[in-house]
Amino acid sequence: MQSYKAPLMDIKFLFNDVFDYYGHYQKYPEFEDATPDLVDAIFVECAKFCENELLPLNQTGDKEGCTFDNGKVITPKGFKEAYNLYVEGGWQSLSHPIEHGGQGMPPSLGMAKAEMMGTANWSWAMYPGLSHGAMNTVQSHGTKAQKELYLTKLTEGTWTGTMCLTEPQCGTDLGQVKTKAEPNGDGTYNISGTKIFISAGEHDLTDNIIHIVLARLPGAPKGTRGISLFIVPKMQVDQSGNIGEFNNVSCGSIEDKMGIKASATAVLNFDNAKGVLIGPENKGLECMFTFMNTARVGTALQGVCASELAYQNSLLYAKERLSMRSLTGKKCPDKVADPIIVHPDVRKMLMTQKAFSEGGRAMIYYTAKLVDDIEMAKNEDERKAADDRLGFITPILKAFLTEVGTESANHGLQIFGGHGYIKEWGMEQIVRDVRISTLYEGTTGIQALDLLGRKILLTHGRSLKDFTKEVLLFCKDKSMLSKNPHKRQMNKFIWPLSKGVANWQQYSIRLALKAKKNRDVVGSASVDYLMYSGYIVMAYFWAQMAQSAYEKLAGDVENRDFYRSKIKTAEFYFDRILPRTKSLAATMMADPKTLMQLDEELLSFL
């Protein structure tokens, strides 16, 4: 019963008008093929694949789930066929380097593809999606031989890959990793240990799975400084890439989860499985962190996907379901009642979903440009500038967009009333599926510590200063004092945005000073601070979209309603969503005392 149409007009608006993506692509000769015509054609084909092949498997996949049978995992009906189509269509290789079988399209294009796939069927999209982590690892840290052996197959999609980090005793705190790697003396290692929560850790879509595994070498230092990375295939592979013996990576079970049921979450037992070291000894975590940001932005996307799918479906329902009359008088006197979209509270939920979907999409596509810049940078300064920006904005995207995406999914369920709670309609699935997004790839709490602790305090606010400089420059450029022809209309956005940014800077400084006296200030303020930052950042993108829309409307453009809708949604965002910062400002500045003063034993008297 779920329906989905890829929001191509919105994606093109971001590509063409808001972020000048084609100007951006032209900076890099590698991307000369990424012309508007080709990109548009890719979008259209991708939309078809997602709407026609992936969406129909979303609810059936949830219902059927994965089956575990004596170490084997059977994915839901249709998953393998869709995967084959995906590989045949060259989708997996789209935005990977040509030298290993990729098509050399920009990574940012991969993000648009990921959005459509993830909205149509997040669980399915995780199988090819997880490969990107493994591919990035091999690409960045692998030897030439490792790249030739593994990267090509991963790029084609012949094999998939995983990231094996978590163990039963540790997820966030990877310093506790126990999995061992014993050298065999021939350049290979015997890997032994148990990894849990391994997405796509076992499945029937491909003949082999390449695991990237965190493990400890003998005598390695304790904690995070003694962890190395290994490539451990499920099936052994000879030098030519032929599959050999089983490599003792066995799937002990798959998890019975709240959602993303069609995505297999495996317990993997490594029992003297043969692996090779990738990257330097004991530098496994550093190596992983080089593309942690990209993985996290990929998870942030799940929030946008859930919001979009929930929005599309609840909008259709709100136009059809008849209940009560508008308080301002009958809107459909010929019907037994008015459609619920006439009720302001339903409209509020819909507008909130719209604001989060489109605002979140803008935040993602802005960030995707940074990923292009990092990969293509011609010198270290350029690379570092883009990397710093990415590192700053990533925790905001990951935590904020998954939190508001979860909210949006819940609005969708709520708009359906009791029917939202019934599986048939597919709305409760969206809520269950998206609920994982604030947990994996670092919980909201971890993202918040990363933002406030590492990205703000540790850099003495440098990244924040750089970013707010960009925002304030935009404000100045569009303000009443500028030559912006739309400055009068933009004033309603520029003023609160400037004020919000100024407060953001102020609060950051005040928190930094407080944190010097009491380190618990960081953890006590961090999540509220992150959400505060998220609302300000999203306001910046809504202001940019409004400006672009005014510019389009000033010309002789088609689809004028589209741009009007943008502006009015921006107004809604500034009026109804941005004021959430008021409460967050109050709570993040509150003394940690009231949080921490209660002894553990005093929390319960049972």
Nearest approach, Cβ of residue 552 and a copy of itself (Å): 13
Cβ atoms < 10 Å from Cβ of 280:
12
Nearest to 6 by CA among 84, 114, 129: 114
Strands 209-215 and 235-237: unpaired
CA atoms within 13 A on the CB side of 319: 5
In this complex, which beta carbon is closest to a copy of itself, that of residue 179 or of residue 526?
Answer: 526
Which of residues 74 and 439 has its CB atom nearest to a copy of itself in the complex?
439
- 72 CB burial (10 A radius; 0-12, 13-18, 19+): exposed
- Least distance (Å) between residue 15 CB and a copy of itself: 15
To a copy of itself, the closest distance from the beta carbon of 536 in angstroms equals: 14
Closer by beta carbon to a copy of itself, 25 or else 532 = 532
- To the query of whether residue 64 is one of the catalytic residues in this protein, the response is no
Cβ(220)–Cβ(228) below 8 Å: yes
SS3 215: strand
Three-state SS letters, 312-345: HHHHHHHHHCECCCCCCCCCCCCCCCCEHHHCHH
Residue closer to a copy of itself by CB (options 384, 564) is: 564
How far is Cα 430 from Cα 311, in angstroms, rounded to an integer?
Answer: 11
Determine contact, residues 306/405, Cβ cutoff 8 Å: yes
The Cα–Cα gap between 396 and 508 comes to 15
Nearer to a copy of itself, 187 or 606 (CB): 606
d(CA 498, CA 482): 14
* Distance separating alpha carbons of residues 571 and 574, to the nearest angstrom: 5
Q: Which of 380, 441, 470, 571 does the annotation list as catalytic?
A: 441
Q: What is the DSSP letter of 216?
A: B
Contact yes or no for 501/471 (Cβ under 8 A): yes
DSSP designation for 419: G
Closer Cβ to a copy of itself, 502 or 596, answer by number: 596
Per-residue CA distances from 124 to 25, 43, 199, 200, 550 (Å): 30, 19, 11, 10, 39
Question: Between β-strands 72-74 and 67-69, what pairing exists: parallel, antiparallel or unpaired?
Answer: antiparallel
Nearer to a copy of itself, 117 or 522 (CB): 522
DSSP category for residue 75? P
Exposure class string for 425-435: b at 16+ Cβ within 10 A, else e? bbbbbbbbbbb
Chain centroid offset of residue 72 CA: 29
565: its two tokens: 């809708």
Cα 549 to Cα 567: distance, rounded to the nearest angstrom: 7
Closest distance to a copy of itself from the beta carbon of 591 (Å)? 7
> Shortest Cβ distance from residue 465 to a copy of itself (Å)?
24
Q: Report the residue number, 217 or 340, with the smaller CB distance to a copy of itself.
A: 340
Q: Whole-number minimum distance, CB 486 to a copy of itself, in Å?
A: 19
Q: How far is CA 254 from the centre of its chain?
A: 23
Considering beta carbons, is residue 121 or 410 the nearer one to a copy of itself? 410
We find the least distance from the C-beta atom of residue 314 to a copy of itself, in angstroms, to be: 11
3-state class of 602 per DSSP?
helix
* Residue 309 vs 374, nearer CB to a copy of itself: 309
Q: How far is the CB of 348 from a copy of itself (least distance, A)?
A: 6
State the maximum Cα–Cα separation within the chain, in Å, rounded to a whole number. Answer: 83
| Distance, C-alpha 59 to centroid of its chain | 21
Residue 31 and residue 379 in contact, taking contact as beta carbons nearer than 8 Å: no
Closest distance between a copy of itself and the C-beta of residue 257, in Å?
5
Active site residues: 441
